[in-house]
Amino acid sequence: SAVISQKPSRDICQRGTSLTIQCQVDSQVTMMFWYRQQPGQSLTLIATANQGSEATYESGFVIDKFPISRPNLTFSTLTVSNMSPEDSSIYLCSAGLSYNEQFFGPGTRLTVL
Amino acid sequence: AQSVTQLGSHVSVSEGALVLLRCNYSSSVPPYLFWYVQYPNQGLQLLLKYTTGATLVKGINGFEAEFKKSETSFHLTKPSAHMSDAAEYFCAVTPDTGRRALTFGSGTRLQVQP
Instruction: Please state, in angstroms and rounded to a whole number, the distance separating the CA atoms of residues A110 and A85.
Output: 10
User: Which residue, among B6, B9, B44, B100, would best test binding to A if mutated, counting the most A CBs under 10 Å from its CB?
Assistant: B44
Q: Does B109 touch chain A (CB under 8 A)?
A: no
Say if residue B114's pLDDT is above 90: yes
Q: Does A8 touch chain B (CB under 8 A)?
A: no
The helix/strand/coil state of A14 is coil
Pairing state between β B64-68 and B56-58: antiparallel
Task: List chain B residues with CB under 8 Å of A43.
Answer: 44, 90, 102, 104
Residue among B53, B41, B85 nearest A9 (CA): B41
For A65-90, the pLDDT digits (tens) are 999 999 999 999 999 999 999 999 99
- State residue A65 phi and psi, 5-degree precision: -85, -35
Rounded to a whole number of angstroms, the distance between the first and last alpha carbons of chain A is 37
Contact assessment for residue A77 and residue A43, using Cβ atoms and an 8 Å cutoff:
no
Task: Using pLDDT thresholds of 50, 70 and 90, give the confidence band for residue B97.
Answer: low
Instruction: Please state, in angstroms and rounded to a whole number, the distance separating the CA atoms of residues A3 and A25.
Output: 6
Q: What local confidence, expressed as pLDDT, does residue B98 receive? A: 53
